[in-house]
Amino acid sequence: MSSYSLLAIIAIGLASNLDNAGVGIAYGVRKIRIPWYSNLAIALISFMATLISGLFGNLISTWISPWIGQLIGTIVIIGVGVWVLLQPYVEKKPVPKETRTNSFTRLLQNPEEADMDSSKSISLPESILLGIALAMNALAGGFNAGITQLNIWYTSLSVGIFSFILLALCAGFGEKFAAEKLGNRATVISGLLLIFIGFRQMF
């Protein structure tokens, strides 16, 4: 494995999970516990999302020439990066109550809503909903890895491991100021990192 491939795998793992840092700190501030088994379930969902989208990308890559695969992978991951950057502005627009309530984006903006029984602990069933919301960026990262011929298994492991570590570390940390700052910056950093990965692959 080349040094660039290793760096790309690590970068995808980080970019796919920076939302976990903001969510983890938000839980720490609100004294909401994330038991290890719930955190593991969230990490496994991110791992599976990356693996499935990576296998799909890999399948597509067998039918097209390498440069087209690079182009598609670049467009997808840059597109997701731009989408991530625009989310804070999109979310300021009025949205019907029903849509807001069912939105995974809303769950990430208000992570305490995942604690539906107000037990101050994220149960295993609650972690599945949160895991799906947090795995959205992993889909793009996995597809990009598959279609650009990065090692899918290593990429999926990177995403799963960073998911577990960032959520665990950041949940034990923080005051309100830190949560707000990191929550906002994590979105920007995640989007910029995805865009950087896309451009680096083409040039």
* Closest alpha carbon to 139 in 124, 152, 122, 125: 152
- pLDDT at residue 164 is higher than 70: yes
- Rounded Cα distance between 149 and 168, Å, is 31
- pLDDT at residue 139 is higher than 90: no
Which of 18-27, 67-76, 188-197 bottoms out in mean pLDDT, i.e. has the lowest? 188-197
- Give the mean model confidence (pLDDT) for residues 112-125: 69
Q: What is the pTM of this model?
A: 0.73
In this structure, the number of other CB atoms found within 10 A of the CB of residue 158 comes to 26
Structure tokens that stand for 59 in this block: 């399948």
| 3-state per-residue secondary structure call for 29-94 | HCCCECCHHHHHHHHHHHHHHHHHHHHHHHHHHCCCCHHHHHHHHHHHHHHHHHHHHHHHHHCCCC
